[in-house]
Amino acid sequence: MSLQNPVFIPGPTNMPESVRRACDMPTLDHRSSLFKDILHPARDGVRQVLKSQSAEVFIFPSTGTGGWEAAITNTLSPGDTVLAARNGMFSLKWIDMCQRHGLLVEIVETAWGEGIPADRFEEILTADTAHRIKAVLATHNETATGVTSDIAAVRRAMDGAAHPALLFVDGVSSIGSMPFEFDGWKIDVAVTGSQKGFMMPAGLGIAAFSPKAMAAVETGGLPRTYFDIRDMAKGYAANGYPYTPSVGLLNGLKLASSMLLDEGLENVFARHTRIATGVRAAVAAWGMELCAARPALFSDTVSAIRTPEGFDAGRIVSHASTRYGVAFGAGLGQVAGKVFRIGHLGSLTDVMMLSGLATAEMVMADLGLPIRLGSGVAAAQEIYRNSATPMALAAE
């Protein structure tokens, strides 16, 4: 692997040099008055990226998985029931975590490549007149399959059923790269990490709680210590943490949030849509298909590309790494060996993406797949040339 090449995995993503430098800072006493000038702007920046006025943002030395654990342990009790669709690797992981914590999970089995079946959720919630379901789990962007689910539709289903359950959303590979409406979708807990849309190293788990979720914290009965947001809130009120924070990463998050807001969130989203559209044009030119079942589900942050029947897609990932020093994403779970993934989120431009597509073509040609060199690149170029002039990432 060459450190000079961009990565094309769905996270960790490429880092702007200015963000990398912001993370690389001298040791700072996190109990000094200087720390608040990093902590509070970082939290405020995340809140703005989430498009929320009221969310309480908690940032743990962790990853998105830690954010998931914070969501369930702070609001739920042993024996509670949650509702979730199992339509990919990361929805599966969240279900597994709930089960390990003694929660009952009502699982809606869904084909990998499909989105969350909001209509089925509404049926289940309408039938739950005793309100035994305490939370609905929704993976906004299923990274394993390149599928984006309609969270607004999930919220409409909950409201249509007049059900009081909490809405938990995994936004790990969507927040900061795709439209996300914390207040507009009436989300109760949103979870993400530092290493995706925020263009940073892994190491921060981010969880945002609505006022309704904050109220549930007082009755939640699951064990919690490290992820207890009551301790975190007390620390924030005193401009600190209940334990040692990742000061450098928080400083990076402060800058990364500012860069996204300076570029303009709608411009950020448009940039990712344009880049993703170019990737999809390349896939079509190669005569291949995406794992996502239909265009309405196509993700703007990762494309999972199906290879011909009988061909091990993992060979593309390993050959790209060893021969060209470039990283693509491997297939996971049910689609392992059947797809390879091109990540197109975070700090990425049209020109960077063209280099990834050109590399993918060389790899597939090397491995004997019927790919005409330049076909996918040319298709993407037409998209990029004929799109509106993109705004560059905020100055580094």
List of the chain residues with pLDDT < 70: 1, 388-396
- Specify the pLDDT at position 1: 63
Kindly report the CATH number that applies to the domain delimited by 265-386: 3.90.1150.10
C-alpha torsion angle, residues 51, 94, 177, 159 (rounded to 10): -40
Q: Is 336 exposed, middle or buried (0-12, 13-18, 19+ CB in 10 A)?
A: middle
Measured between alpha carbons, how far is 116 from 277 in angstroms, rounded to an integer? 22
Q: Which residues contact 340 (CB under 8 A, 6 or more apart)?
A: 304, 305, 307, 313, 314, 316, 317, 328, 329, 330, 331
What DSSP element (H or E) covers 106?
strand 104-109
Residue with tokens 């996300």: 180
Largest CA distance in the chain: 62
Alpha helices (runs of H) in the chain, residue ranges in sequence order: 17-23, 36-49, 64-75, 89-100, 118-127, 151-160, 211-217, 229-237, 247-263, 265-285, 314-324, 350-366, 375-386
Domain residue ranges in the chain: 17-262, 265-386
Q: What is the CATH number of domain 17-262?
A: 3.40.640.10
Can you tell me which residue has the tokens 């990398």?
A: 20
pTM over 0.75: yes
Contact in structure between 329 and 291 (CB atoms under 8 Å): no
Q: Pairing relation of β-strands 133-139 and 166-170?
A: parallel
* Residue 389, pLDDT score: 55
Reading the block at residue 227, the tokens are 């992820």
- CA-wise closest residue to 367 among 328, 305, 319: 319
* Pick from 327, 311, 306: nearest CA to 369: 311
Q: Looking at this protein, which amino acid is placed at residue 184? A: G
In contact, 104 and 81? CB cutoff 8 Å: yes
Span 222-278, pLDDT tens digits = 999 999 999 999 999 999 999 999 999 999 999 999 999 999 999 999 999 999 999
Distances (CA, A) of 387 to 177, 180, 273, 350, 380: 18, 23, 11, 11, 11
* Residue 26 burial class via C-beta count within 10 angstroms: exposed 0-12, middle 13-18, buried 19 and up: exposed
